[in-house]
Amino acid sequence: MKLSEMENIGAVLEALLIKAGIHDSTELLDAGSKEAFKKIKNIDGQACINMLFALEGAVQGKRWHKLSQQEKEDLRFFFRSL
């Protein structure tokens, strides 16, 4: 599946993922949101927490707004650790 067909993945995030070496949904699912975000952060130092939330939502197949508070807190902790 094309990245842009996944939940939360628009043209900008799709382009960043491709530039980071993740070309389709299978590669994103295999990498997971955190690894994919690290790859994006390496090429775009301005990558924000909302991008990480979007990636996790895409991996789970739901809008990032529906991530649980615990999931968001885990992602915030990871984001701050980078």
Write down the pLDDT at residue 6: 98
pLDDT > 90: percent of the chain: 100
Q: How many CB atoms lie within 10 A of CB 57?
A: 21
Q: What percent of the chain has pLDDT over 70?
A: 100
Whether this model's pTM surpasses 0.85: yes
**Tens digits of residue pLDDT in 36-66:** 999 999 999 999 999 999 999 999 999 999 9
Helix (H) or strand (E) holding 32, with range, is helix 25-43
CA distance 75 to 77: 5
